[in-house]
Amino acid sequence: MNYNKKTVKDVEVAGKKVLLRCDFNVPQDKETGAITSDKRIVAALPTIQYLLDQGAAVIACSHLGKPKNGPDPKLSLAPVAKRLGELLGKEVIMAADVVGEDAKAKAAALKPGEILLLENTRFEKGETKNDPELAKAMAAMAEVYVSDAFGAVHRAHASTAGVADYLPAVSGFLIQKELDFLGGAIANPKRPLVAILGGAKVSSKIGVINNLLEIADTIIIGGGMSYTFSAAQGGKVGGSLLEADWMDYSKEMIAKAAEKGVKFLLPVDTVCGDSFSPDAKSQLVKAGQIPDGWEGLDIGPETVKLYCDAVADAGTVIWNGPMGVFEFPAFAKGTEAMAEALSKTSAITVIGGGDSAAAVEQLGYADKMSHISTGGGASLEFLEGKELPGVACLLDA
């Protein structure tokens, strides 16, 4: 995939109506509906402010949650419009629908320097099906399409990809940054390239491991998926997370790494607990020697040293997935140590969304990383080398 795409700075937007796809899929309080984190709204501000400053009339759109049967008042974007207005210090006009009479009338009346937010795109059944009629109706309101919702670019929906069939399509600043860092790390990394892969399951990281074996110098394995690799090599894993169906695959990956000259690092010791709980009793054992009735919940101190040494002189580090159950303080030490090691390295550090992003932020190291991806699923598919529909549809630079 070509990661070199035209951005909002490469097109004339003054006096034009711009359809802007944002990621306003914010977390909300289940009882009150109050927004519990406005980080995604804040992340969209640089692109919105740029467009308004340039004299564009901005028609913003986004999905929120997973409405089952069309419009659902609980998943309205009205609270987002209110918060966005507070952050911008100006009124955000709210449409009552996506491509209905209200949206069309408000879009037609919108003046340069004003912003309109369409209702939740998933209130339209055609959104997730990438219905060309819906895409055409959305595109008809504007003259330029700007995509800035990296968290949704791995989905070929009407608002993320379909509209680009009818309008000149470019990226906003958020997607540009993702393409610069994630694209750069894969297409042209500063070497050595070290990939740290954690999380629960080997099965969810197959494509990533396979793709990274072609480009990485070192691959580090941690988290729940390391026990499948351990068992594949004849180790005892007690009650640890194990995907028995993927043991042969794990062996193949180790062999493939050896054949390609890629260092493939697996844990050498394990902190295990007698139950999956924050106050479980713990003991330290050698990797592959977890007793029955115990389960691996974190990497041990020898592994921490091995892994920290491996990133110390890296040129680029990509990290996706925690090293242990970082939600439990007693089993967060491996993840903490990796985050600290990355904060001290001079490497380009790219954190691939999801749990790793949450861990780095929770541990207070976010500002020490070169880039933290805003899209969990999208960054994972990016690392797999898959084509992302919401990026592929943008004009090449």
Q: How far apart are CA 397 and CA 395, in angstroms?
A: 6
Compute the 3-state secondary structure of the chain and give helix, strand, coil in percent, each to the nearest 5: 40, 20, 40
First to last CA, the chain: 13
Q: How far apart are CA 68 and CA 357, in angstroms?
A: 29
Of the residues 136, 377, 385, 386, which is catalytic? 377
Of the residues 16, 177, 201, 236, which is catalytic? 201
Is 354 assigned a catalytic role? yes
Is 201 assigned a catalytic role? yes
Is 183 assigned a catalytic role? no
DSSP element (H, E) containing 291:
none
E strands of the chain, at which residues? 17-21, 57-61, 92-94, 115-117, 144-147, 169-171, 193-197, 218-221, 236-237, 263-265, 269-273, 282-286, 289-290, 295-299, 316-320, 348-351, 371-372
Of the residues 354, 375, 376, 390, which is catalytic? 354
Q: Do you find a cis peptide bond into 27, omega within 30 degrees of 0?
A: no
* Residue 245 CB neighbours (<10 A): 10
For residue 125, report the phi and psi dihedrals to the nearest 5 degrees. -60, -30
Of the residues 5, 17, 21, 40, which is catalytic? 40
In this structure, what token pair is assigned to residue 196? 């740290």
Q: Which of 363, 200, 222, 184 is nearest to 306 (CA)?
A: 222
Is 40 assigned a catalytic role? yes
In sequence order, the 6+-apart residues with CB closer than 8 A to the CB of 22 are 40, 44, 48, 60, 61, 62, 148, 149
For Cα atoms 182, 369, 349, give the angle at the middle one, nearest 5 degrees.
45
Please list the active-site residues. Answer: 40, 201, 354, 377
